[in-house]
């Protein structure tokens, strides 16, 4: 569908990058067209912020931001290089690339001199990306046992909800966006545990059905199934958001938690150096250390390749997982 062959409608805001000229189509097709142009919600938010930063820098320099030129982009990434991680620079260039692709304008990111500049930045500053650290299973068990979810027979909603977040995030290897999107009706309890059904994720943009299974633990204090059952019983409803805000005075709401709330809960209970992503990384690391093969891990994380499992595994200690221990010396 080429824009030069089909009349363009007025520019339409897609909730993604900016105003995009769309072909003149019916309302029904336009709905699907916009959906197709948009990516994952978190990625879109990051792209918008990156474009705003790029535009702000161009304004300060007195140069035109968009459409971009290789020369301006070269100056921009050179200014970023001493102060920003490679992953940030790469993502900001991706945002600029997508802006051009949506308008069917050749991307300046493909310029050979710009690519040479980027290679120089990589050699000078490196490309190592700081990953969310993983916590140990025993560390998490201790934290969970210390969370007091009841006082004099009265449930304490906020601590119990936080415990549910930590248990789901770790044993279910959920992303934070997946956690906040969960509804009560997606939980299916049985004698074996609970199966959680959901549709769509960061790597499943087409809404295919996915399932994750959680199992009973002999220790009720760290059991994800019993803790989840207790929480659902307190919600006193069979539909709607699973993880919700708690007002002061121990008052339940039906307001869904945000992505940022999940990270705040992890930092509050596990430590400031950890993030929401640490729960997922910790699941992969713990499972691998306990002998799980990649296919078993992928069944829960929904990764598509073993390469991603290796990327997620946090075997940080040089002594913890080292073939030098197996030399027989």
CB atoms within 10 A of CB 322: 10
Pair 62, 141 in one domain: no
253: Cβ contacts below 8 Å, ≥ 6 apart: 244, 245, 246, 247
Is the residue at 319 inside a domain?
no
Is the residue at 22 inside a domain?
no
Cα separation, 293 vs 13, whole angstroms: 45
User: Which of 72, 91, 125 finishes a domain?
Assistant: 125
Pair 150, 246 in one domain: yes
* Catalytic-role residue among 92, 163, 175, 269: 175
Residue 112 appears among annotated catalytic residues: no
User: Which of 125, 148, 182 finishes a domain?
Assistant: 125
Is the residue at 287 inside a domain?
yes
* Catalytic-role residue among 202, 226, 256, 267: 202
What angle (nearest 5°) sits at the alpha carbon of residue 93, between those of residues 87 and 97?
A: 140
Pick the closest to residue 167 from 185, 190, 194, 186 (CA basis). 194
Residue 272 appears among annotated catalytic residues: no
Residue 48 appears among annotated catalytic residues: no
Residue 312 appears among annotated catalytic residues: yes
Residue 280 appears among annotated catalytic residues: yes
Pair 116, 145 in one domain: no
CATH at 146: 1.10.443.10
Is the residue at 306 inside a domain?
yes
Pair 177, 297 in one domain: yes
Is the residue at 1 inside a domain?
no
Give the DSSP per-residue string, 57-68.
Answer: HHHHHT---SS-
Pair 306, 182 in one domain: yes
pLDDT value of position 17? 43
Q: In the chain, how many domains are there?
A: 2
Range of the domain at 281: 137-312
Pair 76, 187 in one domain: no
Cα separation, 323 vs 305, whole angstroms: 24
Residue 115 appears among annotated catalytic residues: no
* Catalytic-role residue among 269, 277, 302, 314: 277
* Catalytic-role residue among 280, 288, 302, 314: 280
CATH at 108: 1.10.150.130
pLDDT value of position 136? 84
Pick the closest to residue 168 from 243, 220, 251, 237 (CA basis). 243
Is the residue at 327 inside a domain?
no
Pair 152, 269 in one domain: yes
Pair 87, 226 in one domain: no
What are the structure tokens assigned to 219, written together? 């220790």
| C-alpha dist (Å) from residue 208 to 36, 203, 229, 243, 302 | 15, 10, 26, 22, 12
Q: Where are the beta strands (DSSP E) in the chain?
A: 12-13, 19-20, 150-151, 154-155, 187-189, 193-201, 204-215, 244-247, 251-256
pLDDT value of position 210? 83
What angle (nearest 5°) sits at the alpha carbon of residue 48, between those of residues 44 and 51?
A: 135
* Catalytic-role residue among 92, 288, 312, 314: 312
Pair 66, 195 in one domain: no
Cα separation, 40 vs 162, whole angstroms: 26
- Count H helices, E strands: the chain? 13, 9
Pick the closest to residue 189 from 156, 157, 224 (CA basis). 224
Cα separation, 280 vs 132, whole angstroms: 9
What are the structure tokens assigned to 283, written together? 């699941």
User: Which of 78, 93, 125 finishes a domain?
Assistant: 125
pLDDT value of position 257? 94
Pair 55, 150 in one domain: no
Radius of gyration of the chain measured on its C-alpha atoms: 24
- Per-residue tens of pLDDT for the chain, all 329 residues: 333 333 333 444 443 444 455 556 566 776 665 566 555 555 677 788 888 999 999 999 999 988 999 999 999 999 988 888 888 888 899 889 888 887 788 899 999 999 999 999 888 887 665 667 778 889 999 999 999 998 888 899 999 999 999 999 998 888 888 999 999 999 999 998 999 988 755 554 545 678 888 999 999 999 999 999 999 999 999 999 999 999 988 889 999 999 899 999 999 999 998 988 888 888 888 887 877 777 777 777 776 665 665 655 555 544 555 555 554 55
Pick the closest to residue 158 from 279, 278, 260, 269 (CA basis). 269
* Catalytic-role residue among 176, 212, 303, 314: 303
Cα four-point dihedral sign 77, 78, 84, 90: positive
Pair 95, 116 in one domain: yes
Cα separation, 144 vs 152, whole angstroms: 19
Is the residue at 25 inside a domain?
no
Is the residue at 252 inside a domain?
yes
Pair 160, 267 in one domain: yes
């Amino acid at each position: 569908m080429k824009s030069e062959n089909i009349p363009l409608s007025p520019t339409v805001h897609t909730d993604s990058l900016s105003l995009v000229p769309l072909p003149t189509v019916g309302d029904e097709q336009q709905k699907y067209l916009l959906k197709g142009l948009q990516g994952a919600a978190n990625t879109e938010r990051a792209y918008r912020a990156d474009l705003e930063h790029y535009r702000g820098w161009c304004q300060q320099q007195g140069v035109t931001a968009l459409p971009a030129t290789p020369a301006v982009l070269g100056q921009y990434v050179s200014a970023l290089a001493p102060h920003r991680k490679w992953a940030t620079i790469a993502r900001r260039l991706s945002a600029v690339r997508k802006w051009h692709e949506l308008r069917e304008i050749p991307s300046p990111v493909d310029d050979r001199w710009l690519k040479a500049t980027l290679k120089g930045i990589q050699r000078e500053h490196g490309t190592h990306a700081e990953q969310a650290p993983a916590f140990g299973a025993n560390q998490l068990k201790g934290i969970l046992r210390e969370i007091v979810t009841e006082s004099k027979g009265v449930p304490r909603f906020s601590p119990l909800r936080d415990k549910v977040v930590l248990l789901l995030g770790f044993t279910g290897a959920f992303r934070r966006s997946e956690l906040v999107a969960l509804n009560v009706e997606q939980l299916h309890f049985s004698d074996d545990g609970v199966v959680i059904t959901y549709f769509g994720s960061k790597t499943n943009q087409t809404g295919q059905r996915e399932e994750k299974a959680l199992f009973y633990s002999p220790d009720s204090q760290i059991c994800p199934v019993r803790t989840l059952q207790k929480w659902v019983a307190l919600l006193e409803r069979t539909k709607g958001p699973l993880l919700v805000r708690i007002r002061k005075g121990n008052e339940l709401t039906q307001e869904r938690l945000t992505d940022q709330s999940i990270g705040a809960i992890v930092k509050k209970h596990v430590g400031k150096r950890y993030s929401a992503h640490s729960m997922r990384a910790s699941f992969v690391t713990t499972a691998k250390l306990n002998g799980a093969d990649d296919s078993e891990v992928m069944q829960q994380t929904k990764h598509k390749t073993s390469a991603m499992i290796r990327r997620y595994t946090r075997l940080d200690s040089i002594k913890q997982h080292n073939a030098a221990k197996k030399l027989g010396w």
